[in-house]
Amino acid sequence: MSAGGSRPSHAIELEGVSFVYPDGTWALRDVCLAVPEGGRVAIVGQNGSGKSTLLRHLNGLLRPSAGRVLVRGRETAGVPVERIARQVGLLFQNPDLQIFEEQVADEVAFGPRNLGLTGADLASAVMEALEAVGLRGLEHANPFNLGFSRRKLVALAAILAMRTPIVALDEPTTGQDGRGLGLVEEVVRRLADEGRTVLATSHDMRFVAETFERVVVMREGAIVADGTPDEVFAPAAWEVLRSTHLDPPPAAVVGGALGLGSTPTEAQLVAALRERDARYG
């Protein structure tokens, strides 16, 4: 990747990125976004708002029609996808478009193997990733015989095993039950603890509010709000959220009414409701 002359403290930088699909659809319009190393950013917005298109720019699967994308300070223009893949791991929205091996372990090993891992290092990367998504013991299962939520977790493990410094997750919570959702939350937190940068798209506002430190709201290919969950889910921003067919998480609504801000914890909500109950009978 050629040097872009930008601050190396940024994992991802999008400078005035626009993208037009061959059929003339504008998917991104002059998007500017800088994500620091180790940042945890959720990208939300209605279907077709450009979230997935944006993520596909991060590892060069899509190239901007205008503007530029920098990964860890280096411009991605002209750099092959397989080289950017060493920096950015991308989880696809539909696991069936990502999975193609007949064994879970083979599927998870595909990425790290391509990055040059072999022997014990490879085996440890595979087992660690499977452990993280709760699929240890299913190494020899055929992924196509697993249910959708587990296939999605296999796809997630396949990205984790690559141990890239930047991880982009396209709708990681889709189709997950409570356990799966908990695993995905835990994965995101662990990645952040390890100092890795995480970007994820999601329609699950509770997941977004509780797991990410920054929320970017997109509408019709443009960023219309960008801030902490507290700011984005605050009553003042609800109009913007609703303009892109999103509702603030219930905790933000109740927390706002109780004066607890827009990202109260469950414990804070319960305590405030008990206090209110005690005060007013």
Partner 1 sequence: MSGPAPGAAAAGRERRRGRIGWLEQTLAGITASIEHAVFTEQHARERGFLQARDPRAKLAIFLALVLAASLSGSITVLAGLYLVVLAAAGASHVPYRYFVKRVWLGIPLVAGIVVIPALFLVPGPRLFDLPAGPLHVAPSLPGVVGGVIFVARVGVSVSLALLLVMTTPWADLLKSLRALHVPQVFVLILSMTYRYIFLFLHTVNGVLQARKSRVVGRTSGAEQRRWISGTMGALVNRAFKMSNDVYAAMLARGFTGELRAYSTYRMRTTDWAVLAGSLTVAAVGVLAGPFLP
Tell me how many residues contact partner 1 (CB under 8 A). Answer: 36
Of the two residues 92 and 233, which places its CB atom closer to partner 1 in the complex? 92
User: Minimum distance from CB of 250 to partner 1 (Å)?
Assistant: 34
Q: Residue 19's beta-bridge partner residues? A: 28
Q: Residue 89's beta-bridge partner residues? A: 167
Beta pairing, strands 40-45 & 214-219: parallel
Distance, in Å, from the CA atom of 92 to the CA atom of 159, rounded to the nearest integer, reads 10
Q: Residue 71's beta-bridge partner residues? A: 12, 74
Distance, in Å, from the CA atom of 269 to the CA atom of 57, rounded to the nearest integer, reads 39
Among positions 9, 82, 245, 247, the unique one binding partner 1 when judged by CB under 8 A: 82
Q: Does residue 27 belong to the site contacting partner 1 (CB under 8 A)?
A: no
Q: Restricting to residues 138-157, which ones interact with partner 1 according to CB under 8 A? A: 140, 142, 144
User: Minimum distance from CB of 84 to partner 1 (Å)?
Assistant: 9
Q: Does residue 63 belong to the site contacting partner 1 (CB under 8 A)?
A: no
First CA to last CA distance, the chain: 65
**Cβ contacts of 279 within 8 Å, gap of 6 or more:** none
187: helix, coil or strand? helix
Among positions 14, 162, 208, 217, the unique one binding partner 1 when judged by CB under 8 A: 162
Q: Does residue 121 belong to the site contacting partner 1 (CB under 8 A)?
A: no
**Helices 104-114 and 119-132: angle between axes, nearest 10 degrees:** 120
32: left (phi over 0), alpha (psi -120 to 50) or beta: beta
Distance, in Å, from the CA atom of 152 to the CA atom of 155, rounded to the nearest integer, reads 5
Q: Does residue 94 belong to the site contacting partner 1 (CB under 8 A)?
A: yes
The piece of 80-88, 146-154, 219-227, 238-246 that touches partner 1 (CB under 8 A) is: 80-88
Of the two residues 21 and 144, which places its CB atom closer to partner 1 in the complex? 144
Of the two residues 86 and 206, which places its CB atom closer to partner 1 in the complex? 86
The piece of 116-124, 203-211, 226-234, 256-264 that touches partner 1 (CB under 8 A) is: 116-124
Residue ranges binding partner 1 (CB under 8 A): 56, 59, 61, 81-82, 85-86, 89-90, 92, 94, 96-98, 100-103, 105-106, 109-111, 113-115, 118-119, 122, 126, 140, 142, 144, 158-159, 162
